[in-house]
Amino acid sequence: MNEYVITRIESIQMELKELKSLLKPSKKIKKVINLENLWKGIDISDSEIDEAKKAIFGKYDKIEL
């Protein structure tokens, strides 16, 4: 019984250590991408938007976005 308790405590400690590492903020630099610039200089007509809606939503083409 005593060995079981010790093993279980060690297991819980390992799990807590893993969870702590997941919760720590990442030191990676996250670059913010401005989506407006992604489409800069591109003209999209209403008919192209309607065509894309039909392709994506199929029979649900009455959906307003």
pLDDT tens for each residue of 7-54? 999 999 999 998 888 887 767 777 777 777 777 788 888 888 888 888
Domain ranges (residues) in the chain? 2-60
Contacts of 63 (CB under 8 A, 6+ apart): 53, 57
Residue 65 contacts residue 53 (beta carbons within 8 Å): yes
Selection from 14, 64, 52 nearest residue 6 by Cα: 14
**Measured distance CA(40)–CA(44) in Å, rounded:** 11
Residue 35, pLDDT score: 72
What's the predicted TM-score (pTM) here?
A: 0.37
Predicted confidence at residue 1, as pLDDT, reads 64
The pLDDT of residue 63 is above 60? no
